[in-house]
Amino acid sequence: MNIQQNVSLKPFNTFGIDVAAKRYVSITSIEELKEVLETEKDIFVLSGGSNLLLTQAIDKLTVHINTKGIQTEISGVNEVLVTVQAGENWHDFVLWCIAQNYGGLENLSLIPGNVGTSPIQNIGAYGVEVKDTITQVLAIEIATGKEIVFDNEACDFGYRNSIFKQEAKGKYIIVAVTFKLTTKNHHLNSSYGAIQTALDAQGVTKPKLKEISDAVISIRNSKLPNPDDIGNSGSFFKNPVIAKSTFLSLQQQYSEMPFYKVSEQEIKIPAGWLIEQCGFKGKRIGNTGSHKNQALVLVNYGNATGEEIYALAKRIQKTIKERFTIDLEIEVNVL
Ligand code: EPU
């Protein structure tokens, strides 16, 4: 085990925040991880760093999960089980699936981060969530070093939520995720308006996995900043779910407010719209701001500190609360 001192975490978080890990270890096998856990329990687990806002130096041992590997097992005539080590890059894995003609993850193309963190916030985009294909998550319990399997139900998935953000938070390290994917007769999901528009523009009437993936990539590229160019963590807030009664009274004042029905009693409002209405979209405040093409994405223009971005987030929350009486919940992990 090679513990390094004072390592900058700037290359390891997509916001590009330059804070130091006082002690840092890179993990490349489950055995190495178990060895670390024999002596270290108070740790900070770092994965792809794509859903993370670092506001201070890390005193705890930073354990960076860099395990690699993909295993497949045929499961029935039309399905394959694919087990992926946590440190594999998510988008590279999605492209690998498309190259094998394995269906199910194509709508989740170009999402930053690693496979191991995909279940934590149940990553989702363009009508698909990762919970739809996950069969099990293998984790190590930090207290005991034991391997624990969470099946899909045990993960208790919800919108940008799972047991790993709730009761299990801080107790486990995810080391591998198993997905059930289709090998033929794929269930393509092109229902999201922008995907259909992109396919129509290409003249594609019978899309294959790659064409759906390409459509998603072009939509994301047109709206979302590439973290390699402008630091960001994707959607900074969750889309708020509000009571229907609150929605109906707001709608009287804001008839053009977009919304999605969640249940008979609950309505989801796009946070990007709320933020845009309050004048933050495209506005730069010091080294940070809300992105010009998607207000829900907060960005680092180069030298922002985590505190600066967090201060903007608080300001946005306060403004939205005052104007719409809606609480915006931060989706990103703030440390
Ligand atoms: N909108 C605005 N202004 C904006 C942005 C959005 O008015 O600046 C309104 C528009 O009415 C638009 C609606 O919001 O039609 C929805 O926008 P979009 O399709 O971009 O989706 P979103 O709700 O803002 C969610 C996810 C994204 C995911 C997209 C597509 C959350 C928190 N975010 O964004 O996920 O890519 O849907 O499925 O649910 C992420 O989590 O990091 C992420 C990028």
Alpha carbon separation from 158 to 43, 130, 139, 237 (Å, rounded): 26, 11, 19, 15
- What mean pLDDT is predicted for residues 197-208? 91
Reply yes or no on whether the pLDDT at 192 is more than 90.
Answer: no
231-334 CATH, one of 3.40.250.10, 3.40.640.10, 3.20.20.150, 3.90.78.10:
3.90.78.10
What pLDDT, on a 0 to 100 scale, did the predictor assign at position 38? Answer: 95
Residue 59, pLDDT above cutoff 90:
yes
Residues with CB under 6 A from ligand 1: 125-126, 223-224, 234-235, 238-239, 258, 270, 272-273, 276, 281, 294-296, 331
> pLDDT averaged over the chain?
96
**d(Cα 213, Cα 192) in Å, to the nearest integer?**
13
Length of the chain: 335
**Looking at residues 327-333, what average pLDDT do you find?**
96
Q: What class has domain 70-182? A: alpha beta
Scored b (16 or more CB within 10 A) or e, 282-296 reads eeebebbbbbeebbb
pLDDT (0 to 100) of residue 323: 97
Q: Give the tens place of pLDDT for each residue, 255-284.
A: 999 999 999 999 999 999 999 999 999 999
CATH 3.40.50.920, applies to 4-65: no
Q: Is the predicted pLDDT of residue 40 greater than 90, yes or no?
A: yes
- Secondary structure letter of residue 89 according to DSSP: B
Confidence of residue 175 (pLDDT cuts 50, 70, 90): very high
Task: Point out which residues pair with 174 in neighbouring strands.
Answer: 139
Tens digits of residue pLDDT in 85-102? 999 999 999 999 999 999
Which two three-digit tokens encode residue 290?
Answer: 């809300």
**Arithmetic mean of pLDDT, 56-83:** 96
What's the longest Cα–Cα distance across the chain?
61
The verdict on whether 79 is a catalytic residue reads no
Which of 109, 190, 233, 235 is catalytic? The answer is 235
Tell me, what's the pLDDT at 1? 79
Residue owning the nearest CA to atom 43 of ligand 1? 235
Domain residue ranges in the chain: 4-65, 70-182, 231-334
Closest atom of ligand 1 to 160 CA is 39
160 is annotated as an active-site residue: yes
The tens digit of pLDDT for each residue in 217-243 reads: 999 999 999 999 999 999 999 999 999
Q: What's the pLDDT score for residue 321?
A: 98
Give yes or no for residue 191 having a pLDDT over 90: no
